[in-house]
C-alpha cells in the first residue's frame, strides 16, 4: 500500500485542525490548541504549495482548505477573548 505525501499531509492537517478546533471548548486547553493550530497551518500550507508546484487546482471544498479554517479557529478565539477582556 502506497500513500502519497500530499494525502499524508492533508490527513495530518485535518487531524491537527480538528484538535485545534476542539481545544476551543475549554480555555485551559487553548495552549495545546495553539500548538495543534501551528502544526495544522504548517501542514496545510505545505500541501497548498505542493499542489501549486504541480499546477493542481485547489478548490474551496478541498479538505486542506477546511483544515486551514479549523486550524485558524483557536487564533480567532484568542483574539476575540483579548478584545472582550481588554477593558
pLDDT digits (tens, 9 = 90+) for 31-80: 999 999 999 999 999 999 999 998 888 888 999 999 999 999 999 999 99
34 torsion bin: left (phi>0), alpha (psi -120 to 50), beta (else): alpha
Cut 0.85: pTM above it: yes
What mean pLDDT comes out for the span 15-41? 95
Amino acid at each position: 500500500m502506497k500513500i502519497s505525501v500530499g494525502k499524508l499531509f492533508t490527513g495530518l492537517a485535518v487531524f491537527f485542525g480538528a484538535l485545534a478546533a476542539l481545544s476551543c471548548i475549554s480555555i485551559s486547553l487553548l495552549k495545546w490548541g495553539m500548538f495543534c493550530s501551528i502544526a495544522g497551518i504548517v501542514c496545510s500550507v505545505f500541501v497548498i504549495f505542493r499542489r501549486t508546484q504541480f499546477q493542481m487546482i485547489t478548490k474551496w471544498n478541498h479538505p486542506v482548505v477546511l483544515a486551514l479554517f479549523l486550524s485558524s479557529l483557536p487564533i480567532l478565539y484568542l483574539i476575540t477573548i483579548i478584545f472582550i477582556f481588554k477593558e
